[in-house]
Structure 1
Amino acid sequence: MLTLTSYAFVSMILFSIGVVGVIARKNIFVIYMSIELMLNGVNLFLVTFARYHFNLDPQIITIMVISIAAAEAAIFLSVIILLYRSKKSLNTDIFTTLTQGEKS
């Protein structure tokens, strides 16, 4: 039997894996996927407590967050493609300047 604690534990593990991925990785695509993992951990936590308290408000918020995340994914993936085309790498250490031209 799955309890509230087990769902909360899984959501905390998902969020923790996402935090470690954001902190430890250098690839911008992996960092994006880690942020999405953190978002899914929070969504699971919201749905878990909504089910526990027999309340639909957090579930509605979760559906809104998922729909906003879909739009955000399209924009972020297009930014990743533009960054890769300009620098030929997805390493975050390369993206330190905001200018396009050479420094004099």
Structure 2
Amino acid sequence: MILAAAPGPEWYLTLSALLFAIGTVGVLIRRNPLVMFMCVELMLNAVNLTFVTLARQLDDLGGQVAVFFVLVVAAAEVVVGLGIIVSIFRRRQGATADDLSLLKG
């Protein structure tokens, strides 16, 4: 019977860096505000994965507490941001990120 070793923290940190890079490329390349919003959320989750990995590695609860607060703030951000994006899409079909500059007063 072959037992597989559990992945170490390097695997989780590599995955986190990859997810953050995908989110960054998505924000920089895509012009759809909804896709950009999802890419920002992907970047937040990548940072959360880093916090949890380092908190477990250092045997410290501080990283997991930070993740809890980031998730609470991200939930509030989703409510407000998604509401704004949906209202913009209702007024203008096919809105892009370039059109968001029209919101300036």
Q: Please show how residues 86-97 of structure 1 align to structure 2 within 5 Å.
A: 86-97=91-102
1:82 corresponds in structure 2 to 87
Equivalent in the alignment of 1:19 = 24
2:65 maps to amino acid: I
Distance (whole Å) between structure 1 residues aligned to residue 45 and residue 14 of structure 2: 13
Relative to its length, the structure with more helix (as a share) is: 2
Post-superposition shift, 1:85? 1.9
RMSD: 1.4
Alignment of 1:7 with 2:12, yes or no, is yes
> Does 2:45 correspond to 1:40?
yes
TM-score for both structures, normalised by structure 1: 0.89
CA-CA distance at 1:12 after TM superposition: 0.3
Q: Percent identity?
A: 37
- The structure 1 segments of at least 4 consecutive aligned residues displaced by more than 6 Å after TM superposition are none
Task: Describe the shift of the 1:98–1:78 C-alpha distance in structure 2 as closer, same or farther (beyond 3 A).
Answer: closer
Structure 1 unaligned runs (5+)? Answer: none
Q: Tell me if the contact between 1:11 and 1:41 (Cα under 8 Å) persists in the aligned partners.
A: yes
Task: Give 1:96 deviation, angstroms.
Answer: 3.1
Q: CA deviation at 1:82?
A: 1.3
Q: What's the counterpart of residue 75 of structure 2?
A: 70
In structure 2, C-alpha distance between the alignment counterparts of 1:33 and 1:98, rounded to whole Å: 20
Evaluate the alpha carbon distance shift between residue 89 and residue 43 of structure 1 in structure 2; reply closer, same or farther with a 3 A threshold.
same
Deviation at 1:3, TM superposition (A): 0.5
Q: In 1, Cα distance between the equivalents of 2:50 and 2:9? A: 10
Displacement of 1:99 in angstroms is 6.0
**TM-score, length-scaled by structure 2:** 0.88
Segments of 5+ residues of structure 2 without an aligned counterpart are 1-5
